[in-house]
Amino acid sequence: MRVGVIISGKGSNLEALLQEAAKPSYPAEISLVIADRPCDGIGIAARYGVPNVEIVPHKDYETPGLFEEELTRLLEEHKIELVVFAGFMRIVHTNFVKHWRNRLINVHPSLLPSFKGLHTHERAIDYGVKYHGCTVHYVNEHLDDGPIVGQSTVRVLDDDTIETLAAKVLEKEHKLLPACVKKIASGKVRIVGHRVI
């Protein structure tokens, strides 16, 4: 399966995916990486020899719609079958979501449906939850809301800080994301309503 990964930052999830995808038995290849700004993840993509790496600066587009059209154009040009948002820090709109429905996943640093949006680790600590974690889900029209492909948990300890909790969750993301992409690319996943079977 040809996978396109869209990033905005450090790219550690991208790197985890590239490490797994390098194994001969992995059923997906990372054919394209797009960043919406210059960022560290671009260097990672180049280091792993991703064949197509593009920067599409969102600031260069008059509207989010035009920016998203350019993303779709590139993804189509490279015959991408599954789009992965891996630390992509923008919200996408109806046309993009409709076009890529059931072919677009995101990794989010909380156990959805708790703590949608930003600052998830801080909010988890403030709320006092005892378990936190990460979720890989299909993207729908609502923020951090689509059918859940997989989740992974961590304990929240009394002395956890935002930083220690973020590090524990990120480590889980690095295992969860490649595992979920593998399941999808192996054809083992089916969406039934809001559930992923």
Catalytic residue among 58, 78, 93, 108: 108
Catalytic residue status for 174: no
90 binds ligand GRF, rule: CB under 6 A: no
Tell me: does residue 11 bind ligand GRF (CB under 6 A): yes
The single residue among 12, 31, 135, 152 that binds ligand GRF, judged by CB under 6 A, is 12
150 near ligand GRF, judged by CB under 6 A = no
Q: Which of 1, 9, 65, 145: binder of ligand GRF (CB under 6 A)?
A: 9
Nearer Cβ to ligand GRF (86/124): 86
Which 104-143 residues touch ligand GRF, going by CB under 6 A? Answer: 107-109
> In this structure, are residues 162 and 124 in contact, taking their beta carbons and an 8 Å threshold?
no
Q: End-to-end CA distance of the chain: give it in Å, rounded.
A: 19
Q: Which is nearer to ligand GRF, 108 or 182 (CB)?
A: 108
Q: Applying CB under 6 A, which residues contact ligand GRF?
A: 7, 9-13, 86-87, 107-109, 170, 173
